[in-house]
């Protein structure tokens, strides 16, 4: 008899298949007001974090980019502008509600000729190896069950010399900031979620999932373990967020 595997869902331990269902439910619940909540809970700073990710991406006109956990498409839209019509951006998400919303948002902005959309699991990407110049994932890796498997898939689909960019919440590097951040995350954020989306539990999970995510050094080590080279990270907003970058030989 196969032993059932339990995994983290925030601070809870749940069966693997249960986590996948619960994560889908979280994003189904918040999809319609996801962008509004991002602006409110980060005071709009998430836009600067994404701009910085582009600055360190090395992406230029004609490149092919894969944006995982693309959500409502804001990071993918920035890449689409950067690669131009000579390039291509593929936006994927495991959640159909988020992907549909993102596709509609990009079409409304007139972004269509150099983008494609695919519902896909980051742990099992439906692309051949050596397909992309850059793979990005913004605020999505912490929701992936097997992060090492997802990182290995990112490496597989990258072309030699290509790079991965992981934009994710991380660990503040100053103790006073950690205290304030914890107070905000557990005291304010769930209440904001209830007020705006009528869903307090999803944003409590968000706060817990951030705490369970590997810190800067551990994530860097995980990238190196699957085969990325020249791995480094850039702390933003005192380490509340970090951009990790690694290359494929």
Rounded CA separation 90/23 (Å): 22
Residue 2: pLDDT over 60: no
Rounded CA separation 249/240 (Å): 30
Question: Which residue reads 């498997």 in tokens?
Answer: 149
What is the CATH code of the structural domain delimited by 6-173+205-247? Answer: 3.40.50.150
> Per-residue pLDDT tens for 161-188?
999 999 999 999 999 999 999 999 999 9
Mean pLDDT of 68-85: 96
Mean pLDDT of 82-104: 95
What's this model's pTM, rounded to 2 decimal places? 0.91
Q: Where do the domains of the chain lie? A: 6-173+205-247
Per-residue HEC secondary structure of 122-144 comes to CCECCCCCCCEEEEEEECCHHHC
Q: How many CB atoms lie within 10 A of CB 31?
A: 20
Cα dihedral 198, 107, 153, 123 sign: positive
Residue 109: pLDDT over 60: yes
Mean pLDDT over the full length of the chain: 92
Q: What is the pLDDT of residue 10?
A: 82
Cα dihedral 130, 242, 45, 145 sign: positive
> Per-residue pLDDT tens for 194-209?
888 888 988 898 899 9
């Amino acid at each position: 008899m196969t032993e059932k595997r339990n995994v983290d869902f925030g601070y809870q331990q749940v069966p693997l298949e249960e986590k996948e269902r619960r994560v889908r439910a979280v994003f189904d619940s918040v999809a319609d007001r996801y962008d509004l909540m991002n602006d409110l809970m980060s005071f709009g700073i998430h836009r600067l974090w994404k701009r910085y990710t582009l600055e360190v991406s090395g992406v230029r006109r004609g490149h092919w980019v894969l944006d995982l956990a693309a959500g409502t498409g804001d990071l993918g839209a920035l890449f689409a502008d950067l690669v131009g019509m000579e390039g291509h951006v593929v936006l994927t998400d495991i959640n159909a509600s988020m992907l549909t919303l993102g596709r509609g948002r990009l079409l409304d902005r007139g972004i269509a000729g150099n983008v494609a959309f695919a519902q896909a699991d980051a742990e099992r990407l439906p692309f051949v190896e050596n397909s992309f110049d850059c793979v990005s994932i913004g605020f999505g890796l912490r929701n992936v069950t097997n992060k090492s498997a997802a990182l290995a898939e990112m490496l597989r689909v990258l072309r030699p010399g290509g790079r991965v960019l992981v934009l994710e919440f991380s660990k503040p590097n100053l103790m006073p900031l950690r205290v304030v951040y914890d107070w905000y995350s557990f005291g304010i954020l769930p209440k904001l979620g209830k007020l705006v989306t009528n869903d307090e539990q999803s944003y409590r999970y968000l706060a817990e999932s951030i705490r369970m995510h590997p810190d800067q050094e551990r994530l860097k080590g995980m990238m190196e373990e699957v085969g990325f080279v020249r791995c480094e990270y850039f702390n933003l907003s005192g380490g509340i967020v970090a951009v990790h970058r690694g290359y494929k030989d």
